[in-house]
């Protein structure tokens, strides 16, 4: 078998499965690396001569090494996208040790090119509503577990790139769009919004984020593999919006109530503490934690993708389109109750 296969770790996930789709449709032969027990529903539609499903664990180097047989390229996408866990190791170990084991296996295989998926979370945040880029220094002390995991994992990728491995890093912002089957923390917030009463005006906090569509992020991965400079990082961001504007867009799409009033920092801090305590006692993942409340109240993760646009040819769609595609997918795939769905006042472009 010739070495013209591409391995994608985390291939059953939100970004990974969309990346697999784009690669297969481009005519590439792809190995989808997944853990035993992973959902394969988005991977079983492709012919076997174009897609092979291989099982393993990114923290176990020899399973990655075995999967890389006949491969010349690797997209390391796998990550535990949970902001918080009772046991932080469940997030930190896959991110840090998983990246190390995967890149070590890639080094031993002598791959032509590796693209590592990081996150704009690894860049920290800013207090001013001005976009920052890949050079922004990480400025968080004692951050939430997921944030720390992305920073540490990117540090591992940089370490291997500095040793001469042909690595390109991509840093997506907050990802929305079709196929978020878990759903992710970002998508879960959209689902909860869709379940609210049409008259409930949700409060908001100052600050903002960058909204990007999963299809654009996956295409950015492909462009990074083709055109990215070894050792460089590329922010794959979208439209920068304030949190208040995010609710406004969802209201415009669905006909649900527009945003209400601004929450004060004290209330947000108490809410983060209460939700985290509840998760510790009863299980589940809190919507907000004390660290997230502390670090992101009034914070902006507004990011410029100018470098990726200039060097890779990267493009992104407006936030409205990404969020609309999310809403349509959650509705059509049963993530919203019939009662809540019936309350939505669809706009013509949504109903089309």
For residue range 20-29, list pLDDT tens digits in order.
Answer: 999 999 999 9
What's the DSSP call for residue 229? P
Q: What is the DSSP letter of 129?
A: S
Q: pTM score, two decimals?
A: 0.94
* pLDDT, position 43: 87
Give residue-wise pLDDT tens across range 313-342.
999 999 999 999 999 999 999 999 999 998
Give the pLDDT confidence score for residue 351 in this predicted structure. Answer: 42
Q: How many CA atoms lie within 13 A of 176 on its CB side?
A: 29
Would you say residue 347 has pLDDT above 60?
no
CA neighbor of 75 nearest in space, from 42, 144, 28, 41: 28
pLDDT tens-digit readout, 8-21: 999 999 999 999 99
Q: Is the pLDDT of residue 349 over 60?
A: no
Question: Mean of the pLDDT values across residues 251-265?
Answer: 93
Length of the chain: 352
Give the C-alpha distances (Å, rounded to integers) separating 72 from 48, 91, 128, 228. Answer: 19, 28, 43, 16
pLDDT digits (tens, 9 = 90+) for 263-310: 999 999 999 999 999 999 998 889 999 999 999 999 999 999 999 999
Query: Is the separation of the CB atoms in 110 and 118 below 8 Å?
Result: no
Amino acid 350: pLDDT: 43
CATH number of 5-177+211-240+302-318: 3.40.50.720
């Amino acid at each position: 078998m010739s070495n013209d296969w591409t391995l994608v770790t985390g291939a059953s996930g939100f970004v990974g499965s969309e990346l697999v789709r784009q690669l297969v449709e481009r005519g590439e032969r792809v190995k989808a690396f997944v853990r035993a027990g992973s959902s394969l529903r988005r991977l079983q539609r492709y012919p076997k001569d174009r897609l092979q499903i291989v099982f393993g664990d990114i923290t176990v180097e020899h399973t990655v090494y075995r999967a890389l047989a006949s491969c010349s390229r690797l997209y390391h996408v796998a990550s535990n996208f949970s902001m918080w866990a009772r046991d932080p190791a469940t997030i930190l170990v896959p991110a840090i040790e998983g990246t190390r084991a995967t890149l070590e296996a890639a080094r031993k295989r002598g791959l032509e090119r590796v693209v590592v998926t990081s996150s704009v979370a690894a860049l920290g945040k800013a207090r001013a509503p001005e976009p920052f880029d890949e050079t922004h220094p990480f400025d968080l002390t004692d951050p939430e577990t997921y944030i720390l995991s992305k920073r540490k994992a990117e540090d591992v990728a940089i370490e291997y790139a500095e040793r001469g491995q042909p690595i390109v890093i991509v840093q997506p912002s907050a990802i929305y769009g079709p196929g978020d089957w878990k759903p992710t923390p970002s998508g879960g917030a959209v689902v909860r919004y869709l379940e609210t009463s049409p008259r409930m005006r949700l409060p908001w906090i100052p600050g903002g984020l960058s909204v990007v569509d999963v299809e654009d992020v996956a295409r950015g991965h492909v462009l990074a593999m083709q055109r990215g400079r070894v050792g460089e990082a590329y922010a794959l961001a979208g439209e920068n919006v304030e949190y208040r504007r995010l609710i406004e867009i969802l209201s415009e799409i669905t006909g649900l109530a527009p945003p209400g009033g601004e929450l004060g920092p004290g209330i947000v801090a108490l809410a983060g503490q209460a939700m985290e305590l509840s998760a510790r006692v009863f299980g589940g993942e809190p919507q907000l934690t004390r660290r997230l409340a502390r670090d992101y109240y009034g914070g902006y993760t507004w990011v410029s993708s100018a470098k990726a646009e200039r060097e890779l040819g990267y493009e992104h769609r407006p936030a409205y389109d990404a969020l609309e595609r999310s809403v349509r997918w959650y509705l059509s795939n049963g993530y919203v109750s019939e009662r809540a769905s019936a309350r939505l006042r669809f706009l013509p472009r949504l109903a089309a």
